[in-house]
Amino acid sequence: MSEPSKQPIAVAVLGPGTVGREVVRLLTEHAEDLAARVGAPLELAGVYVRDVSVPREGLDSALLTSDAEALVARADVVVELMGGISPARELILAALAGGASVVTANKALLAAHGPELFEAADAAGADLYFEAAVAGAIPIVRPVRESLAGDQVERILGIVNGTTNYVLDEMTQRGLSYDVALKQAQDLGYAEADPTADVEGFDAAAKAAILASLAFHQRVSLDDVYREGISGVTAADVAAARENGQVIKLLAIAERADGAVAVRVHPALVPVSHPLAGVHGAFNAIFVEAAAAGELMFYGKGAGGVPTASAVLGDVVSVARHRASGGKGPRESAYAANPVVAIDTVFTRYSVRMNVPDRPGVLQRVAEVFAAHGVSIETVRQASGAGTAGLVISTHRALERDLAATVADLRGLDAVLEVTSVLRIEGE
Amino acid sequence: MSEPSKQPIAVAVLGPGTVGREVVRLLTEHAEDLAARVGAPLELAGVYVRDVSVPREGLDSALLTSDAEALVARADVVVELMGGISPARELILAALAGGASVVTANKALLAAHGPELFEAADAAGADLYFEAAVAGAIPIVRPVRESLAGDQVERILGIVNGTTNYVLDEMTQRGLSYDVALKQAQDLGYAEADPTADVEGFDAAAKAAILASLAFHQRVSLDDVYREGISGVTAADVAAARENGQVIKLLAIAERADGAVAVRVHPALVPVSHPLAGVHGAFNAIFVEAAAAGELMFYGKGAGGVPTASAVLGDVVSVARHRASGGKGPRESAYAANPVVAIDTVFTRYSVRMNVPDRPGVLQRVAEVFAAHGVSIETVRQASGAGTAGLVISTHRALERDLAATVADLRGLDAVLEVTSVLRIEGE
């Protein structure tokens, strides 16, 4: 039994939402256990709220304060759970400047201002931890930053947004349309009334930027991330995928290629045999391909007050332990500076689905278009209807800009009535 | 870019096997990258081999030494990859006593002598890291010890032996018998000529003891682990499981119950919808249930020279980084001392398969036996044959000793021709 004889470590919580309340509850209920793990007691210095006159369920009103600056000034560890850019950014910078360690779950802030914040932490010799900002409860920061520190990450494929995974999974399992599945997600509280941040991939793009920064030891910002959401995915796309032994997932992809780094978020066709295909409902998972370790996957809940609080508290214990022992965790090393390339230079496989007239010579005309742009066809599947036929062409690996040019030409061809979908194929 | 201006850190590798050679290769090839991550260069001090006159592919003969004590004495970080108890134990103790940090992949040693080694590390103020000893390349030590430090692990279900998972997966996917699947695993190098350590669950039991120690912050030794292997699993068991929507996996289970801890390794029926059911071939996975984080899973390669070297090198970077910054990692805290209970007090669900005469009244007689021992039946499935019937009874949660008494009585009943298998049901 370690003996926490040391000075208490003062913890400030900024933000009284579900995660904040859960962090306060765990800090209180597990105080003895946490003191043993840290080597010093953790003491709740206060909870910042905008308006102290509003009663907060589960929070002692004596702990509430609307003076965030004063709270930060008397804290050893600041837990930022407010979300948004301002005043979260200013308060974190003030905390670091004052020598406090910071734990944050704020993905938008890290994706937008990560370099500034990590530099401030380095300059202050303080820790800035952010496990909860990447994939909720799933431990991914320590595995990538520390366990794989002697390895090289080649690619990350992540399901990092629970709302979109729920919607796509319902479309897959029950054949629902996008609109019905989204409505159901909203009714169940998995999606917001305005679902844009989730369904258009903004949330996933912020996480992709953070994951890429971690994996490749360099700064990758939100502006570097190509982004497509799932609002264009139809029940017909899902059905066509199933016929081909695939499911559609919204993936955050960060990969190394030829000395460059590419980061993108888009719906993708994944073979049903791939571990990511088995990630159902609102669960998240991050699939990592490393040079020596091979394939790894980390699976769990990507959101929710209680699971997120687990990740936050793990970080609080780490940074508090460093303070109790007079040390500091590994710095957020960003020593690499590979160029981050745009989507048009990405190489991957594609599935192009189109309606064509059901008459001889059409396939030849279509194949000529692919060949003209140097895009090699791997498989062709055809399903005839009344006078028209559905044609699904899967390509070998091709350059995104060649594929885009192919699709543009297909759209101009009389032998093609409609290009109904273009999806990238990943995980093969 | 950090500037590794510090003194080089001398790394000794004990054991010239596939993992050792791979560690040496990565240390050499990635020297610059590793120096940036550590903050000081890593310098290979030598490789211990029993006989220096045997040429070792991939190892510079000038680095080989048969004087392990002298090598350990001049190292800052000792990487123990010899396996076995002696002299690995003595060399690790000597390294720690001399102030060196130690990284080991030796699960047998940790399961047998963990407490002694961790106490020696604590006394010396040195790190003893062991990521590769638990599940090969899968990062599990840092997630459980650090990321979940503010949470409480309730249960771990692990597929921690690739050989047995390969054999069971081949039986499941291809309907092979145990003997044929094992022979195939041996031919492909997934199983040893003498497969006892794998198929009888000894390897998994050692890992279960280490996992339980980690998860519950206390010492759990190999003697505390109940163990059953897979050599009794038949093609008929696998087929019956499939009919019931289940697969058979060898699980290492560590769980908390009523202030006690139970640790066991045995074949178990897992629903096909459970994430562990999708772990195929020689892959490993560790499924964690935590109070706040909920369900987490960590998936990857549990063995092999290159993947294991990734985990070893991650630990080398961590302990070297601590040395470069004058610190030490979190100690292997063992402040809890819950009783470790025997298998007969475990509560779980069971599936009992038996052959019975195909005549009226049999099910009633069988049901009476379950009721007499307070074991509640959940489902009964019956498949008639020529004069006999296969009966599969799944129970609600019951105490192991009550189930054992039930099975003993069933075996003595004329209404039961044979009890063909008794399997625990997990993951529901």
In tens, the pLDDT along B77-104 reads 999 999 999 999 999 999 999 999 999 9
Residue B1 pLDDT level (bands cut at 50, 70, 90): very low
Q: What is the dihedral of CA B207, B208, B209, B213, to 10 degrees?
A: 100
User: For residues A280 and A114, what is the distance between their CA atoms, to the nearest angstrom?
Assistant: 31
In a domain, A329, yes or no: no
pTM of the model: 0.93
Same domain, B161 and B244: yes
The amino acid sitting at A37 is R
Same domain, A205 and A280: yes
In a domain, B198, yes or no: yes
State the first-to-last Cα distance of chain A, in angstroms, to the nearest integer.
Answer: 49
The token pair at A237 is 């796309």
Kindly report the CATH number assigned to the domain that includes residue B248. Answer: 3.30.360.10
In tens, the pLDDT along A319-328 reads 999 998 877 7
Q: How many residues in total does chain B contain?
A: 428
Same domain, A121 and A39: yes
For all residues of chain A together, what is the average pLDDT? Answer: 93
User: Which tops the pLDDT comparison, A122 or A250?
Assistant: A250
In tens, the pLDDT along A179-199 reads 999 999 999 999 999 999 999
The CA distance from B144 to the nearest CA of chain A, in Å, is 9
Same domain, A13 and A94: yes
How many domains does one find in chain A?
3
In a domain, A1, yes or no: no
- Beta-carbon contacts of A131 under 8 Å, excluding residues fewer than 6 positions away, are A139, A140, A141, A142, A311, A312, A314, A315, B147
DSSP string, A32-81: HHHHHHHTS-EEEEEEE-S-TTS--TTS-GGGEES-HHHHHHT-SEEEE-
Contact (CB<8Å) A307/B328 = no
Residue A288 pLDDT level (bands cut at 50, 70, 90): very high
Among the partner-chain residues A2, A142, A298, the one whose CB lies closest to the CB of B146 is A142
Among the partner-chain residues B275, B316, B326, the one whose CB lies closest to the CB of A150 is B316
Kindly report the CATH number assigned to the domain that includes residue A92. Answer: 3.40.50.720
Largest CA distance in chain B: 85
Q: What are phi and psi of B40, to 5 degrees?
A: -160, 150
Query: B153, B165, B247, B296: which to substitute to probe chain A, counting the most A Cβ within 10 Å?
Result: B296
ipTM value for the complex: 0.91
Residue B385 pLDDT level (bands cut at 50, 70, 90): low
User: For residues A260 and A220, what is the distance between their CA atoms, to the nearest angstrom?
Assistant: 12
Q: How far is CA A38 from the centre of its chain?
A: 29
**A31: part of which helix (H) or strand (E)?**
helix A31-38
Same domain, B44 and B117: yes
Predicted pLDDT of residue B67? 96
Range of the domain at B362: 343-425
Same domain, A159 and A287: yes
- Annotated active-site residue A107? The verdict is no
In tens, the pLDDT along A373-425 reads 999 999 999 876 667 788 999 999 999 999 999 999 999 999 999 999 999 99
Please state, for a pLDDT cut of 90, what percent of chain B lies above it: 82
Same domain, A49 and A104: yes
Q: What are phi and psi of B66, to 5 degrees?
A: -100, 5
In a domain, A330, yes or no: no
Same domain, A74 and A199: no
User: Which tops the pLDDT comparison, A224 or B329?
Assistant: A224
> Cα dist. B208→A202, B159, B310 in Å?
41, 10, 21
Predicted pLDDT of residue A334? 66
Same domain, A164 and A53: no
The amino acid sitting at B319 is V
Predicted pLDDT of residue B54? 84
For residue A284, what are the β-bridge partners?
A300
Among the partner-chain residues A146, A293, A335, the one whose CB lies closest to the CB of B142 is A146
The CA distance from A140 to the nearest CA of chain B, in Å, is 8
Residue B387 pLDDT level (bands cut at 50, 70, 90): confident
Q: How many residues in total does chain A contain?
A: 428
Predicted pLDDT of residue B4? 47
Report whether pLDDT(B2) > 50. no
DSSP string, B201-212: THHHHHHHHHHH
Q: What residues of A are in contact with residue B31 (Cβ under 8 Å)?
A: none
User: For residues A309 and A132, what is the distance between their CA atoms, to the nearest angstrom?
Assistant: 8
User: For residues B381 and B390, what is the distance between their CA atoms, to the nearest angstrom?
Assistant: 8
In a domain, B229, yes or no: yes
The residue annotated as part of the active site, out of B6, B107, B183, B207, is B207
